[in-house]
Amino acid sequence: MARRRAASPSPVLFLAMLCGQACLLVLSPMLPALAAEFGLTPAVAGQLRSASGVAAGAAALALGSLGGQFRLRDLLACGLALLAGGSLVSAAAPTFAVLVAAQIPIGTGLALVLGGAVAAADEWAPPGGRARVLSWTLLGPPAAWVVGMPIAGALTEVSWRAAWLAVPFAASVVAAAWVAAWPRGEARSAVAHPWRRALRRPGVASWAVAELFAYGAWSGTLIYIGALFIESYGVGPRAVGLLLAGAAVVYMPGNFLARRWVDTAAQPLLAALALLSAVGVAVLGGVRLGVGGSFGVFALLALLAGARTIAGSAFGLDAAPAEKVVVTSLRAAALQFGYLIGAAAGGGAIALGGYRALGVVFAVLYVLAAAPHAVATARTLMRSPAPSTRG
């Protein structure tokens, strides 16, 4: 029994995903302080995610073509090492330009971790255990909120540079050492195929586009939620870290609740979750409900995001089961280019119309994410034979 637990891929994949998310979320509580030190507005400083998003998206696209030449274990170890290096440079950055440059290895490493971990959750899982391993792997990001965000928020009140060292850098070093010690017997992945073959499979292209829009809305919310609470309600970075941690606790039940439906009704579930999220983010941006009320809406969005993440991952893997690395690379690219969209669209919306405009823009992105799945679900229902009316 002990040996079986030690060999389980869930803990190491969980930690790898935690590190990737920590590199993203650490910006939320520190954004105003970071912007002030370099003489920038939060909207401009938020474009740091644009730099890492471009790098991660490009790396994810390359991974889809080259991933089959490497062991998943090696991809993960390399990605975690890049996260650690980029976090270290971010903590020491003397100028905003250096900080922007440091996001390039972070973005590249993030693409390798996201693509490799989700593919490994499918490929390394024991027979019949895919949903369980996948769900635990995808709980790594909200765990970064619960564990990392309070630490990052507290340290930011002293120094935002210390937050980089204590959360993403330290976690990535530990995870890289763990992955490097993973058994070397794993064969090189035989699941990478040309992009064209994967995209020809029914539903894959529309799924990838929907993931792009959904991640654009959700990641943009994560980038600017700290600034929204700080500027709207006057709360401090420590409180923002605690709020994000609280929302992460709600994210986790969403993951587990959706697990029971992802193998049978992933597509209608994705459509419904995106539409509900559109309503929620419009309210979050457009209505000032006080700290408690706005936190409640954000927590609801986190619950829906938790459900949507496992549903989207499972749908993509099922749509192209023979192209795991390609599909997970598409998902990683959608996530990272989604951060690019979210950072740019959110910053522009805040500059033009404040947080109300932010909510509207992100609501539109969620509706666009729901559209392909809603259309496909409607077509499936129309093709289903009508129930007989004969007695």
Q: What is the 3-state secondary structure (H, E, C) of 22-65?
A: HHHHCHHHHHHHHHHHCCCCHHHHCCHHHHHHHHHHHHHHHHHH
Q: Which domain holds residue 348?
A: 8-180+192-380
Phi first, then psi, for residue 46 (nearest 5°) are: -65, -15
| Inside any domain, residue 285 | yes
**Whole-angstrom Cα distance, residue 43 to residue 387?**
55
**How high is the pLDDT of residue 85?**
93
Residue type, 256: F
CB-based contacts of 49: which residues, under 8 Å, 6+ apart?
24, 27, 103, 219, 223, 339, 340, 342, 343
| Inside any domain, residue 2 | no
**How high is the pLDDT of residue 4?**
40
| DSSP code, position 186 | P
**Whole-angstrom Cα distance, residue 389 to residue 191?**
48
| Inside any domain, residue 3 | no
Distance separating the N- and C-terminal Cα atoms of the chain: 57
Residue type, 222: L
* Residue whose structure tokens are 């009316």: 389
**How high is the pLDDT of residue 3?**
37
CB-based contacts of 241: which residues, under 8 Å, 6+ apart?
29, 149, 150, 151, 152, 153, 154, 156
**This prediction's pTM:** 0.69
Please give the biggest Cα pair distance in the chain.
80
| Inside any domain, residue 387 | no
* Residue whose structure tokens are 């029971």: 260
| Inside any domain, residue 230 | yes
The CATH number given to whatever domain includes residue 94 is 1.20.1250.20
The two tokens of residue 271 are 């459509």
| Inside any domain, residue 358 | yes
**How high is the pLDDT of residue 6?**
41
Q: What kind and span of H or E run contains 40?
A: none
The two tokens of residue 285 are 């941006």
| Inside any domain, residue 309 | yes
* Residue whose structure tokens are 């170890």: 77
| Inside any domain, residue 204 | yes
Over the chain (391 residues), the average pLDDT of each successive run of 10 is: 52 86 80 86 75 76 64 84 93 91 89 80 71 78 78 83 88 86 54 56 79 90 84 81 78 76 77 93 91 90 89 76 69 76 85 90 94 82 57 43
* Residue whose structure tokens are 């969209």: 341
**Whole-angstrom Cα distance, residue 22 to residue 83?**
10
**Whole-angstrom Cα distance, residue 325 to residue 123?**
10
CB of 248 closer than 8 Å to CB of 146: yes
**How high is the pLDDT of residue 385?**
58
Residue type, 141: P
**Whole-angstrom Cα distance, residue 174 to residue 73?**
15
CB-based contacts of 274: which residues, under 8 Å, 6+ apart?
210, 214, 308, 366, 367, 369, 370, 373
Look at the chain and report how many structural domains it folds into: 1
Residue in 83, 87, 76 with CA at minimum distance from that of residue 20: 83
For residue 108, give Cα distances in angstroms to 54, 220, 276.
Answer: 9, 19, 32
CB of 386 closer than 8 Å to CB of 235: no
Residues of 163-191 as b/e, b for ≥16 C-beta within 10 angstroms?
Answer: bbbbbbbbbbbebbebbeebeeeeeebeb
